[in-house]
Amino acid sequence: NAGVMQNPRHLVRRRGQEARLRCSPMKGHSHVYWYRQLPEEGLKFMVYLQKENIIDESGMPKERFSAEFPKEGPSILRIQQVVRGDSAAYFCASSPRQTENEKLFFGSGTQLSVL
Protein backbone atom coordinates (compact mmCIF):
# COMPACT_ATOMS: atom_id res chain seq x y z
CA ASN A 1 0.00 0.00 0.00
CA ALA A 2 1.77 3.10 -1.23
CA GLY A 3 2.03 6.02 1.14
CA VAL A 4 1.09 9.62 0.49
CA MET A 5 2.76 10.66 -2.76
CA GLN A 6 3.82 14.22 -3.40
CA ASN A 7 5.41 15.62 -6.53
CA PRO A 8 7.57 17.19 -7.48
CA ARG A 9 10.04 16.74 -4.60
CA HIS A 10 11.78 19.97 -5.54
CA LEU A 11 10.33 22.89 -7.46
CA VAL A 12 12.20 26.01 -8.48
CA ARG A 13 10.26 29.03 -9.66
CA ARG A 14 11.14 32.65 -10.45
CA ARG A 15 9.22 35.45 -8.82
CA GLY A 16 5.87 35.97 -10.53
CA GLN A 17 5.54 32.42 -11.86
CA GLU A 18 2.97 29.86 -10.78
CA ALA A 19 3.68 26.81 -8.64
CA ARG A 20 1.56 23.66 -8.71
CA LEU A 21 2.10 21.05 -6.03
CA ARG A 22 0.42 17.67 -6.30
CA CYS A 23 -0.61 15.17 -3.64
CA SER A 24 -2.05 11.69 -4.01
CA PRO A 25 -3.41 10.45 -0.68
CA MET A 26 -3.02 6.90 0.55
CA LYS A 27 -5.42 4.42 -0.98
CA GLY A 28 -8.74 4.55 0.81
CA HIS A 29 -8.09 7.98 2.33
CA SER A 30 -10.59 10.69 1.48
CA HIS A 31 -9.34 13.47 3.76
CA VAL A 32 -6.41 15.61 2.64
CA TYR A 33 -4.54 18.31 4.53
CA TRP A 34 -1.84 20.73 3.38
CA TYR A 35 0.79 22.09 5.73
CA ARG A 36 3.67 24.51 5.16
CA GLN A 37 6.98 24.55 6.99
CA LEU A 38 9.03 27.71 6.82
CA PRO A 39 12.74 27.50 7.69
CA GLU A 40 13.39 27.01 11.41
CA GLU A 41 9.66 26.70 12.15
CA GLY A 42 7.12 23.98 12.76
CA LEU A 43 4.49 22.89 10.28
CA LYS A 44 1.54 25.23 9.89
CA PHE A 45 -1.91 24.11 8.81
CA MET A 46 -3.13 25.56 5.54
CA VAL A 47 -6.23 23.75 4.30
CA TYR A 48 -8.38 20.62 4.75
CA LEU A 49 -10.20 19.10 1.80
CA GLN A 50 -12.41 16.17 1.00
CA LYS A 51 -13.27 15.09 -2.51
CA GLU A 52 -14.62 18.14 -4.37
CA ASN A 53 -15.00 20.11 -1.15
CA ILE A 54 -12.90 22.58 0.83
CA ILE A 55 -13.77 21.94 4.47
CA ASP A 56 -11.44 24.32 6.30
CA GLU A 57 -9.18 26.87 4.63
CA SER A 58 -8.54 29.00 7.70
CA GLY A 59 -4.76 28.67 7.31
CA MET A 60 -4.58 29.68 3.66
CA PRO A 61 -3.21 33.12 2.76
CA LYS A 62 -6.04 35.27 1.44
CA GLU A 63 -4.45 35.89 -1.93
CA ARG A 64 -2.54 33.86 -4.54
CA PHE A 65 -3.10 30.48 -2.83
CA SER A 66 -5.77 27.96 -3.76
CA ALA A 67 -6.34 24.25 -3.30
CA GLU A 68 -8.55 21.61 -4.82
CA PHE A 69 -9.22 17.90 -4.48
CA PRO A 70 -11.17 16.85 -7.57
CA LYS A 71 -13.32 13.77 -7.90
CA GLU A 72 -10.61 12.15 -9.97
CA GLY A 73 -6.89 12.74 -9.58
CA PRO A 74 -4.61 14.23 -6.97
CA SER A 75 -5.11 17.20 -4.72
CA ILE A 76 -3.45 20.36 -6.06
CA LEU A 77 -2.04 23.29 -4.12
CA ARG A 78 -1.64 26.24 -6.46
CA ILE A 79 0.40 29.35 -5.74
CA GLN A 80 0.08 32.17 -8.23
CA GLN A 81 2.68 34.91 -8.74
CA VAL A 82 5.12 33.38 -6.27
CA VAL A 83 7.29 35.59 -4.08
CA ARG A 84 10.50 34.77 -2.19
CA GLY A 85 8.54 34.40 1.05
CA ASP A 86 6.71 31.42 -0.43
CA SER A 87 9.93 29.39 -0.32
CA ALA A 88 9.19 26.56 2.08
CA ALA A 89 8.53 22.85 2.40
CA TYR A 90 4.91 21.99 1.63
CA PHE A 91 3.59 18.78 3.15
CA CYS A 92 0.43 16.94 2.31
CA ALA A 93 -1.20 14.52 4.74
CA SER A 94 -4.16 12.19 4.48
CA SER A 95 -6.42 10.20 6.76
CA PRO A 96 -9.17 7.64 6.13
CA ARG A 97 -11.79 9.09 8.44
CA GLN A 98 -12.49 11.66 11.09
CA THR A 99 -12.21 10.18 14.55
CA GLU A 100 -10.72 11.54 17.73
CA ASN A 101 -7.63 9.36 17.69
CA GLU A 102 -7.10 9.58 13.98
CA LYS A 103 -3.54 10.19 12.94
CA LEU A 104 -2.30 11.80 9.79
CA PHE A 105 -0.01 10.15 7.26
CA PHE A 106 2.36 12.66 5.70
CA GLY A 107 4.04 12.69 2.33
CA SER A 108 7.73 13.52 1.90
CA GLY A 109 6.93 17.08 0.94
CA THR A 110 7.69 19.46 -1.92
CA GLN A 111 10.51 21.92 -1.37
CA LEU A 112 9.61 25.12 -3.18
CA SER A 113 12.42 27.55 -3.93
CA VAL A 114 11.58 30.96 -5.36
CA LEU A 115 14.48 32.77 -7.05
Partner 1 sequence: DQQVKQNSPSLSVQEGRISILNCDYTNSMFDYFLWYKKYPAEGPTFLISISSIKDKNEDGRFTVFLNKSAKHLSLHIVPSQPGDSAVYFCAARAGGTSYGKLTFGQGTILTVHP
Report the interface residues with partner 1, using CB under 8 A: 4, 6, 31, 33, 35, 40-45, 48, 55-56, 58-59, 91, 93, 95, 98-109
Q: Which is nearer to partner 1, 18 or 56 (CB)?
A: 56
Q: Where are the beta strands (DSSP E) in 29-87?
A: 31-37, 43-50, 53-56, 65-68, 75-79
Sign of CA dihedral 51, 110, 62, 39: positive
Angstrom CA distances, 110 to 9, 23, 99, stand at: 4, 9, 27
Q: Which is nearer to partner 1, 79 or 107 (CB)?
A: 107
Q: Which is nearer to partner 1, 17 or 113 (CB)?
A: 113
For the bound state, the minimum distance from the C-beta of residue 15 to partner 1, rounded and expressed in Å, comes to 26
For the bound state, the minimum distance from the C-beta of residue 115 to partner 1, rounded and expressed in Å, comes to 21
